[in-house]
Amino acid sequence: MKRVMKRGIVLLCVLTAFSSFAADATLEERLTALEEKFAKEASAREEILLNRISELEKQVQTLSEQVATVKPAEASGADSESLSTRVSAVEQEVAEMKDTNEKEFKLLEPLKGITIGGYGELHYNELEGSGGAKDKSEVDLHRFVVTVGKEFNEQTRFFSEMEIEHATTEDNKDGDDGYVVVEQAYVDFDLNEEHTARGGVFLVPVGLLNENHEPGRFYGVERNGVENQIIPTTWGEAGAGLHGLLSDTWRYDAYLHTGFDLTSTNYTIRNARQKGGYADSSDPAATAALNWSIPGVTIGGSSQYQQDMSSGDNKDNISAILGELHTDLAWRKWGFRALYAQWELDGNGPEQQGSDRQLGWYLEPSYKFTDKVGVFARYSEWNNLAGDRSKDAGKEQVSAGVNYYPHPQMVLKADYQWQFNEDNKDQDGVNLGMGYEF
């Protein structure tokens, strides 16, 4: 029995071993099959990849050849055709947009050529009077100005300046009043490139400030005494004339216009200014000016003849003549302005008062540290009764101060003034101001 069991076990073992051998053989077969399959797939993929790579290489080569040979503006083949269709589509769109723009623009044509500008000055004076002169402590919106211009065509332009002085036209507590005035309203017509005819109310071409009186263009809070009392800046008259260039450097102005009209027997020049409204035109005046300018240097002068300064009903015929010389220099950071003006009045009235001669002059050196900050000093003398030296009417003033430009079109000013008047009625003190122009 034991033997039978032994044999059985052996047989079983043999059978098991055989069966396992048999199983091993099928595994190997499967592995080989798999290996073969993988190898085939790999070579197929490799072939595909290699093909793709060589295709890409070819493409890259053609592209680089194109880039190297084709100029930007040129194009060829199917791509360029589609490009050119796209470009022409864009062009068409742009043209359509331009058309629409032009149509819209035509609607706005009434506004074409119109310029609007303006300037203004706010002053604060803190002056101490001595020798009988009053103290002055006031804030004043001295000038508020709006300018309107219109370019009618290439040859014809209109320009106007309307001003409110001292903020209101109502009397203040001291009885001083402000006023509204049309300082300028004229038409310029170009005769050719060099010469222009002008008609209307315009500023007479006398002195440095009258035609360039915007606050950013001069030093000192208040305009200097000479170009206030001897040349009555801002000084506009109604008339007509010519201005233009004689060469690159010479400019001329020549006008016939309304003259002074004295309504009282105060013959001081500022009192006689008419400003073009209901102006008496029976006795016209004429002004001529000549200026030589190169960058940094202007030297010039002007002369005016008044046929009769007295009003129509005044029997005393008062003719007058003004002579004026000026210079405006800039060298590096330095600046220098100087002006001399003198009136000679004919007639008994002025002679008796001593106002038959009225004159003034000033010297004004300045220095600009930067475009934003400049300082100045000014010495000025003027006398509206210079015909009679015994009247002690001479005025003498020294000023020094600073202009600060936070923006090129805006200015803050501060100065100190000392007066040494012959009658000892002096006002000394501080002036502060701000101004703008656009």
Partner 1 sequence: MSSKPIIFWIVGLLLAGVARAETESDKFVRSVFGTVPEKQTLRLESETQAKIASMLGKRYSKKEVTYWEQNGRRIWVVDAQGKVSSIQTGFVVEQGQIAKSEVLVCKEDHGRQVRSARFLKQFTGLVINEKGQLNRRIDGLSGATISVYAVTGSAKLALYFDSLVAAQTSMDSASNNLASSSSP
Residue closer to partner 1 by CB (options 305, 405) is 405
Angstrom distance (rounded) from CA 123 to CA 166? 10
Q: Out of 295, 313, 315, 390, name the contact with partner 1 by CB under 8 A.
A: 295
d(Cα 297, Cα 32) in Å, to the nearest integer?
105
234 prior amide bond cis, ω within 30: yes
Tokens describing residue 410: 């805006």
Place of tokens 């048999």: 22
Considering only 57-65, 164-172, 254-262, 396-404, which stretch makes contact with partner 1 by CB under 8 A? 57-65
Distance in Å, CB of 254 to partner 1, minimum: 14
Output 188 or 308, the one with its CB closest to partner 1: 188
DSSP 246: S
Residue 213, φ and ψ in degrees, nearest 5: -105, 10
54 binds partner 1 (CB under 8 A): no
Closest to partner 1 by CB, 72 vs 312, is 72
CB of 407 to partner 1, least distance (A): 6
Q: How far is the CB of 329 from partner 1 (least distance, A)?
A: 9
Answer for which of 290, 325, 330, 398 binds partner 1 (CB under 8 A) is: 330
Rounded distance between C-alpha atoms, residue 262 and residue 273, angstroms: 8
User: Distance of alpha carbon 283 from its chain centroid, rounded?
Assistant: 39
149 is an interface residue for partner 1 by CB under 8 A: yes
How far, in Å, are 87, 178, 324, 406 from residue 300 at the CA level? 60, 33, 8, 31
Q: What does the alpha-carbon distance between residue 317 and residue 295 come to, in Å, rounded to a whole number?
A: 44
Residue from 142, 143, 157, 378 in contact with partner 1 (CB under 8 A): 157
The verdict on 64 binding partner 1 (CB under 8 A) reads yes
User: Of residues 16, 43, 61, 264, which one binds partner 1 by CB under 8 A?
Assistant: 61
Tell me the pairing of strands 373-383 and 156-165.
unpaired
* 103 touches partner 1 by CB under 8 A: no
Give yes or no for a contact between 203 and 235, defined as CB atoms under 8 angstroms apart. Answer: yes
We find the least distance from the C-beta atom of residue 134 to partner 1, in angstroms, to be 35
Residue with tokens 């002006």: 339
Comparing CB distances to partner 1, the nearer of 68 and 111 is: 68
Given the rule CB under 8 A, which of 126-134, 248-256, 355-363, 384-392 is the region that contacts partner 1?
A: 248-256
**Any contact of residue 68 with partner 1 (CB under 8 A)?**
yes
Measure the CA angle with vertex 69, ends 64 and 73; round to 5°: 110
Binding mask 160-189 for partner 1 (x = CB under 8 A): ----------------------------x-
- Minimum CB distance to partner 1 smaller for 197 or for 430: 197
Nearer to partner 1, 100 or 317 (CB): 100
- Residue 151 makes contact with partner 1 by CB under 8 A: yes
CB 212 within 8 A of CB 179: no
Q: What whole-number distance in Å separates Cα of residue 232 and Cα of residue 270?
A: 5
Q: Decide if residue 117 touches partner 1 (CB under 8 A).
A: yes
* Window 250-269: residues binding partner 1 (CB under 8 A): 251
Element (H, E) at 324: strand 320-331
Please state the closest distance from residue 68 (CB atom) to partner 1, in A. 5
Tokens 């600009």 locate to: 368
Q: How far is the CB of 65 from partner 1 (least distance, A)?
A: 6
State yes or no: residue 92 binds partner 1 (CB under 8 A): no
CB of 405 to partner 1, least distance (A): 11
Query: Is residue 195 within the footprint of partner 1 (CB under 8 A)?
Result: no
φ/ψ of residue 198, rounded to 5: -130, 140
Cα 397 to Cα 417: distance, rounded to the nearest angstrom: 7
- In angstroms, rounded to a whole number, what is the distance separating the alpha carbons of residues 199 and 149? 14
Is 395 a residue that touches partner 1 (CB under 8 A)?
no
Residue 415 and residue 223: Cα distance in Å, rounded? 12
The span from the CA of 225 to the CA of 231, in Å, is 9
Q: Where along the sequence are the contacts to partner 1 (CB under 8 A)?
A: 61, 64-65, 67-68, 72, 113, 115, 117, 149, 151, 154, 157, 159, 188, 190, 196, 208, 211-212, 216-217, 243, 245, 248-249, 251, 291, 293-296, 298, 328, 330, 332, 407-409
